[in-house]
Structure 1
Amino acid sequence: MGIQRRLIREISSVRPLMVWMVVLGLCSSILLLLQAHLMADCIGSLFLHVPKHRNLVVMVGELAVVFLVRSLVGAIAGFVAARFAANAKLDIRARWLSKLFTLSPLNIERMQTGELVTAAVSGIDNLESYLARYLPQSVEAVMVPVVLLINIFQLDWISATLLCIAAPLIVFFMILLGKGADSMAKKQWHLLENLSANFLELIEGLLTLKLFSRSADAKRLLAHIGDANRVATMKTLRVAFLSSFVLELFATLGTGAVALALGLRLLHADLAFIPALTVLLLAPEFFQPIRALGTEFHAGLNGLAAAESLFAMLDEREDGADVPIPVVSFSEVQAIRFVDVCVRYPGQREDSLQELCLTIHRGEKIAVTGPSGSGKTTFLQLLSGTLSPSSGVIEVDGQSCSTLSCAAWRNNVTLLNQAPYIFSGTLRENLQMALPGGDTMADNALQEALLKAGLRDWLRSLPGGLDTRIGDGGRQVSGGEAQRIAIARAWLRQSPFLLLDEPTANLDPLTAAEIETAITALTENRTVVVVTHDPGFSRRMDRVIRLAGADSSDEEGTRCKDGTGY
């Protein structure tokens, strides 16, 4: 129930949808009453010659009009539900994606890609089914029986009493079944997420599995998870079918009890025929919305399980959320100082970066070295504003702040990772991704950036030039080509702060030398911090900082205790 209330409270389309369903449900109930009364009058006049006050042809015409209008109301209800559900789907997906882009890399790395994809696609689709089918049917299952019961009570209080006894029994057993089915649906949803995550992981590691001859083990693992998902799905469906059986059973018994009571009183002439026939026609309609709700029971369970997963993502703490930094112009920053800065990742007992004391001056070129695990990449994430320190102070031109996590700061920083990501798209799109705010740039500027990155001959070899598709589904690029594309992006971005994370790692010596030459030209008139294990690359920098766990020292090996890094 908490998830349902949150859906109504937080998704703007849900409240108007419920208002529409209440109004249309009331109209449908009134039309249903008119239809039952007109049908009873027509049958009584036609077969039993009950005295009539109107022409039979007129009553049949009215009945046909009511039937058509009721069908039209039903069609409108379906259209409105589908429209509002689609809007809600767009709303929740936009919020979900916006939340994903505000999370820090640390938060995202803890999530499995398969689970995210399942939530973004299947989860939101299940939620749409819940809003378009289960929620409107829930409103109708409340509205229609209440309106019909009021009229039945006016016609025959005994039949109304029998229906009042049957309806709570149905609700009681629905609640009992729902409690067990809810946990089953959640389990089935988590198994589906696990299946998606493992399948994606196996696809990504398919080459490694082949090389180590472990494909059979991977197939067995996937079959085991798939079978567990099948068992959980069948258990959920079994409960859904059982709920439908219970609804049908009690609806049949309730309708039969009303019919029996009406028949006995008709035999003893205790009830007129027209009211008795009207009640008999309304009795199945009294249970029909509840029975229809049972058929949507499975969609409701899946929708709520998906909503819980989606809201869990929306409730993630935003470690990477923007914070104000008291600096007038980030492009004119003269010095950044780290004072006793520590970073500890969740679940770890020790800091990954300990008591970092360092000052970076404008225009300075710094090489950061150290063994693996000493916190070099963590340091770059702090500088890029994608990670916040656990403790310590960062000063920007003397102004203290707890983090550099700010969009205005990130717009002035370019980070080149060890393995730049090449998106599936054209070369032009991959280059223009470096431009802020979705801006575009002329072809000659893009070609000049590629020339500076050493990709002139490669560009000429492409069949479609800048419009050639690269990445997944297109022309594959090598590691060196990917690094050069990243360098071309950096040329286009023209940010004053340049951060490099082992840009020549895993490259052959010739390619590494060419990359270093391109980077040397790129670093002119910029503040540069480069993480590298290459002594030759380090010697080209103005200063070398060595990180070694708790120790941070310059190239002479002096511990940085003065907060300057010298």
Structure 2
Amino acid sequence: MDKKKVGLKPFFSLILSTGIPKLALAVGLTAGVLTTLAGLVVPLLTKNLVDGFSVASLSVPIMIAIGVAFIVQAVIDGVSIYLLSYVGQKVVARLRERMWTKLLRLPVSHFDKESSGETVSRVVNDTGIVKELITQHFPQFITGIISIIGAVTILLIMDWKMTLIMLISVPITVGIMIPLGTKMAKISRGLQDETAIFTGNIQQTLGEIRLMKASNAEQNEEASGKAGIWKLLGFGLKEARITALIAPFMYLVVMVVIVMIIGYGGMRVANGTMSTGALVAFLLYLFQIIFPITSFAMFFTQLQKAKGATERIIDILELPLEEGQDGLVMDIANKPIQVVDVSFAYEDDEPVIGNVSFEAQPGEMIAFAGPSGGGKTTMFGLLERFYEPTSGEIQIGGVPIKELSMASWRSQIGYVSQESAMMAGTIRENLCYGLENGANISDQRLWEVAEMAYADEFVKTFSKGLDTEVGERGVKLSGGQRQRIAIARAFLRDPKILMMDEATASLDSQSEGVVQDALTRLMEGRTTFVIAHRLSTIVDADKIIFIENGQVTGSGTHKELIQSHTLYREFAEQQLA
């Protein structure tokens, strides 16, 4: 992804585009104003109480008023904090929703280039930074601004000379905080990038834990993980150094201002130009200014982090969607498929297949054979519309498949691969995965398709039957069991077109026989495309397309190719002898 720096405008535009709950925001901010106003009354009441202080002359009404002001302030402040947090949570939930919706509709080619772990980090960690800003720091910033404006206004009315002394500290503070904030933004950007990379590496290692252990790669992965951890530590310590400068500096400024006010105010009280109550009120108002200012440092630091996170969020939201989100809804049953001069390259200068043409009539079995890396799997990717041809087109019944909606096309295709993918969950959930009415499919229908795929035999041996957990990627099932679940899933979808990437290639002979029977039953009456690693599975195909280096070098039945295609004949002699 291209990295581009964003300012505050894109950040606020992004937040506004999520549809902020305006009523909750308005009420929350209003409550914040009322809280601040209630808080601003307390020092004035305290001034009157102190100036008239004596045990005999304790003013009950003033004490009650102070108590009421505290209670009102606490109640309204709670309402304000909740509503503003609600706004923040809602905004970030919608932001995550948009990102998730976007990611699910990006083309497969995007995920070929981007680490899934990094993408997960963008959805979780980067939006988490924005959430923290909106739910915690933004409400404090708004109420802090109101508190400062109110307190400074009252102080200027009470004693403008002392107020000006106090305000001398402001430009000094700003002059130091701005460069520190800029430095923090740069560090935060690096930390977010490194966190995303680290998350990606961790996810990849744990996702392939069996490969890692079988390869004795614990030491290598341990070293790699530690390197990532130490990089994160480096960024964390840089952040800590800046925080270590900000916090003591703010404390120093605050203490200097307090000492100056107490010293100057004490002299004023001594010579009678200021009352003791006024000095106490002044100090209380000073704290109402100081606390928000110290929180501003955290707000602007978090804002810089959120700007960095926004860059990556906007990168994802601006990516082009997979083509075919809208289009024709068409029944493709009993329609021929034509592949016309199709070429494709993953990278511009690396063509994978070139000028491939063939036709499949309804109900035919079309097999792809040829050396590894010739382009067979890529052809499947194009038929499935994981990728779009760089030139040429694929048609169904004379209509280019790119004109069909992606949902309509894929809902009518069944795909069974060598390593049948499964989601963590139950057998039932895997059978119904992706079906709109999945929750309404009866157990009877599920057992029917399981029986058709010869899967009912082993499912019945599990104590929980269809509700048996299969583990992450189906690790609790054998290869043959996963294949039969995949075939049962295909039966349930009742596809018009069937695609099989040599579904028995990695099975033992006993499992292979059962799975092959299930596949034969599944293929009946359906247009079928098969990638053949073993020619014994395709000798009865209606048409075999031999692909070498992305080019079709032969096409015909098994007998025809034995006679006309030298390399195919060599393959046949090696495998079928």
TM-score, shorter chain, exceeding 0.5: yes
- Per-residue CA deviations over 1:438-475 (Å, capped at 9, x if unaligned) read 44322121112111112232122111111222223987
- Which residue does the alignment assign to 2:555? 554
The one-letter amino acid of 2:464's match is: G
* Residues in 2 aligned to 1:454 and 1:190: alpha-carbon distance in whole angstroms: 48
* Residues in 2 aligned to 1:383 and 1:153: alpha-carbon distance in whole angstroms: 76
The one-letter amino acid of 1:223's match is: K
Any idea what SS the aligned residue of 1:341 has?
A: strand
* Residues in 2 aligned to 1:206 and 1:181: alpha-carbon distance in whole angstroms: 37
* Residues in 1 aligned to 2:30 and 2:380: alpha-carbon distance in whole angstroms: 58
Any idea what SS the aligned residue of 2:53 has?
A: helix
Name whichever of 160-169 and 369-378 sits farther off: 160-169
* Residues in 2 aligned to 1:366 and 1:352: alpha-carbon distance in whole angstroms: 20
Pairing partner for 1:91 from 76, 90, 94: 94
Pairing partner for 1:157 from 152, 160, 163: 160
| 8 A Cα contact 1:342 1:356, kept in partner | yes
* Residues in 2 aligned to 1:281 and 1:525: alpha-carbon distance in whole angstroms: 85
- Which residue does the alignment assign to 1:26? 33
- Which residue does the alignment assign to 1:453? 453
**1:151 deviation in Å?**
2.1
**1:434 deviation in Å?**
5.2
**1:296 deviation in Å?**
5.7
Any idea what SS the aligned residue of 2:504 has?
A: coil
| 8 A Cα contact 1:388 1:403, kept in partner | no
The one-letter amino acid of 1:408's match is: S
Change (3 A) 1:261 1:163: same
Within 5 Å, which residues of 2 pair with 1:391-430? Answer: 391-400=391-400, 402=402, 406-430=406-430
- Which residue does the alignment assign to 1:523? 523
The one-letter amino acid of 1:467's match is: D
**1:227 deviation in Å?**
1.4
**1:507 deviation in Å?**
1.8
- Which residue does the alignment assign to 2:571? none
Change (3 A) 1:158 1:303: same
* Residues in 2 aligned to 1:445 and 1:141: alpha-carbon distance in whole angstroms: 63
Pairing partner for 1:12 from 1, 16, 19: 19
**1:343 deviation in Å?**
2.2
* Residues in 2 aligned to 1:324 and 1:549: alpha-carbon distance in whole angstroms: 33
Change (3 A) 1:214 1:465: closer
Name whichever of 334-343 and 16-25 sits farther off: 16-25
| 8 A Cα contact 2:354 2:550, kept in partner | yes
Any idea what SS the aligned residue of 2:460 has?
A: helix
- Which residue does the alignment assign to 1:342? 343
The one-letter amino acid of 2:244's match is: F
**1:299 deviation in Å?**
5.3
| 8 A Cα contact 1:25 1:144, kept in partner | no
**1:43 deviation in Å?**
0.8
The one-letter amino acid of 1:331's match is: I
- Which residue does the alignment assign to 2:52? 45
Change (3 A) 1:539 1:511: same
- Among all aligned residue pairs of Structure 1 and Structure 2, give the percentage whose two residues are the same amino acid: 23
- Which residue does the alignment assign to 1:187? 190
- Which residue does the alignment assign to 1:235? 238
| 8 A Cα contact 2:106 2:321, kept in partner | yes
* Residues in 1 aligned to 2:467 and 2:203: alpha-carbon distance in whole angstroms: 29
Within 5 Å, which residues of 2 pair with 1:297-308? Answer: 303-308=306-311
| 8 A Cα contact 2:367 2:545, kept in partner | yes
Within 5 Å, which residues of 2 pair with 1:280-359? Answer: 280-295=283-298, 303-320=306-323, 322-325=325-328, 329-332=330-333, 334-345=335-346, 347=347, 349-359=349-359
Any idea what SS the aligned residue of 1:367 has?
A: strand
The one-letter amino acid of 1:45's match is: G
**1:488 deviation in Å?**
0.3
Q: Does structure 1 residue 79 correspond to structure 2 residue 86? A: no
**1:194 deviation in Å?**
2.1
* Residues in 1 aligned to 2:147 and 2:357: alpha-carbon distance in whole angstroms: 71
The one-letter amino acid of 1:36's match is: P
Any idea what SS the aligned residue of 1:435 has?
A: coil
Within 5 Å, which residues of 2 pair with 1:526-537? Answer: 526-537=526-537
Change (3 A) 1:546 1:475: closer
Change (3 A) 1:329 1:341: same
The one-letter amino acid of 1:253's match is: V
- Which residue does the alignment assign to 2:59? 56
Change (3 A) 1:128 1:205: same
* Residues in 2 aligned to 1:72 and 1:506: alpha-carbon distance in whole angstroms: 67
* Residues in 2 aligned to 1:82 and 1:374: alpha-carbon distance in whole angstroms: 56
The one-letter amino acid of 1:31's match is: A
Any idea what SS the aligned residue of 1:425 has?
A: coil
The one-letter amino acid of 1:509's match is: S
- Which residue does the alignment assign to 2:119? 116
- Consecutive unaligned residues of structure 2, counting only runs of 5 or more, are 1-7, 566-577
The one-letter amino acid of 1:501's match is: D
- Per-residue CA deviations over 1:348-405 (Å, capped at 9, x if unaligned) read 5212222222333322221122222222222222222332222333333333464666
- Which residue does the alignment assign to 2:373? 373
- Which residue does the alignment assign to 1:65? 68
The alignment's C-alpha RMSD in Å is: 2.9
- Which residue does the alignment assign to 1:143? 146
* Residues in 2 aligned to 1:25 and 1:172: alpha-carbon distance in whole angstroms: 29
Q: TM-score, normalised by structure 1?
A: 0.89
* Residues in 2 aligned to 1:505 and 1:436: alpha-carbon distance in whole angstroms: 32
**1:100 deviation in Å?**
1.8
- Per-residue CA deviations over 1:322-365 (Å, capped at 9, x if unaligned) read 1424xx623346233333322222x4521222222233332222
Any idea what SS the aligned residue of 2:372 has?
A: coil
* Residues in 1 aligned to 2:523 and 2:161: alpha-carbon distance in whole angstroms: 90
- Which residue does the alignment assign to 1:563? none
The one-letter amino acid of 2:384's match is: S
**1:209 deviation in Å?**
3.7
Name whichever of 295-304 and 280-289 sits farther off: 295-304
**1:64 deviation in Å?**
0.7
- Consecutive unaligned residues of structure 1, counting only runs of 5 or more, are 560-566
**1:9 deviation in Å?**
1.8
* Residues in 2 aligned to 1:321 and 1:172: alpha-carbon distance in whole angstroms: 54
**1:14 deviation in Å?**
6.9
Name whichever of 26-35 and 501-510 sits farther off: 501-510
Any idea what SS the aligned residue of 1:500 has?
A: strand
Change (3 A) 1:196 1:410: same
- Per-residue CA deviations over 1:103-134 (Å, capped at 9, x if unaligned) read 12221233323323334444444433222111
